[in-house]
Chain A
Amino acid sequence: MFIAAMIGVLITMLMALVRALSGPTVFDRILAVNMFGTKTVLFIAVLGFLSGRPEFLDLALVYVLINFIGTIAILKFVRFGKVETA
Chain B
Amino acid sequence: MIHVVDMTLLAFLALVAIAITRMTNLFATSVLTGVYSLLMACIFTVLDAVDVAFTEAAVGAGISTVLFLATLSLTTQREKPQRSPNWKALCVALLTGGALVYGTFDMPHFGDPQAPVHQHVGPHYIGVSPTQIGVPNMVTSVLASYRGYDTLGETAVIFTACMAVLLLLQHEKRRDEQSAVEEKPDKEAMEHAMILRVQSKFFIPLILLFGLYVQFHGDFGPGGGFQAGVIFAAGIILYSLVNGLDKARQIIPPNVLHGLVAFGLLLYAGTGLASLFMDGNFLQYRALAEEATHGEHIGILLIELGVGITVATVMTSMFFSFSGRRRS
Contacts and interface: CB of A to CB of B under 8 A. Distances in A.
Direct contact of A and B (CB under 8 A): yes
Given A17-B16, A65-B207, A66-B234, A77 B72 contact: yes
Interface string A19-62: 01101001001100100110010011001001100011011011
A62 B12 contact: no
Given A20-B35, A30-B31, A66-B58, A59 B234 contact: no
Contacts of B306: none
The secondary structure that dominates the B interface is helix
Contact of A72 (B39, B70, B241): B241
B317 interface: no
Contact of A80 (B186, B203, B207): B186
Contact of A17 (B31, B35, B66, B241): B35
B307 interface: no
Contacts of A30: 31
A14 B54 CA distance: 22
A77 to B, nearest CB: 5
B223 A73 contact: no
Given A65-B210, A65-B234, A80 B35 contact: no
Interface stretch (B1-9, B92-100, B269-277): B1-9
B42 A3 contact: no
B169 to A, nearest CB: 18
Contacts of B32: 20-21, 29, 33
Of A59, A63, A81, which is in contact with the most chain B CB atoms at under 10 Å from its CB? A59
A74 B57 contact: no
Contact of B38 (A21, A40, A84): A40
B42 A40 contact: yes
Contacts of A68: 203, 238
A74 B50 contact: no
Interface in B64-94: 65-66, 69-70, 72-73, 77-78
B15 A21 contact: yes
A2 to B, nearest CB: 9
B128 interface: no
Nearest to B196: A72
A83 interface: yes
A52 B186 CA distance: 48
Contacts of B25: 84
B309 interface: no
B210 A29 contact: no
A51 B62 contact: no
Interface of B: 1-2, 5, 8, 12, 15-16, 19, 25, 27-28, 31-32, 34-35, 38-39, 41-42, 45-46, 50, 53-54, 57-58, 61-62, 65-66, 69-70, 72-73, 77-78, 185-186, 189, 196, 203, 207, 210, 213-214, 217, 221-223, 227, 231, 234, 237-238, 241-242
Given A59-B57, A77-B69, 20 more contacts: A3-B1, A6-B1, A10-B8, A17-B35, A20-B32, A21-B16, A23-B28, A36-B35, A51-B2, A55-B221, A58-B222, A59-B54, A62-B57, A62-B214, A62-B231, A67-B61, A69-B62, A70-B62, A74-B31, A77-B70
Interface of A: 3, 6, 10, 13-14, 17, 20-21, 23, 26, 29-30, 33, 36-37, 40, 43-44, 47, 50-51, 55-56, 58-59, 61-63, 65-70, 72-74, 76-77, 79-81, 83-84
28 contacts: A17-B35, A21-B19, A33-B32, A36-B35, A40-B38, A47-B5, A47-B45, A58-B54, A58-B213, A59-B50, A59-B54, A62-B57, A65-B231, A68-B238, A69-B62, A69-B234, A70-B34, A70-B62, A70-B65, A72-B242, A73-B65, A73-B66, A73-B69, A73-B241, A74-B31, A81-B69, A81-B77, A83-B27
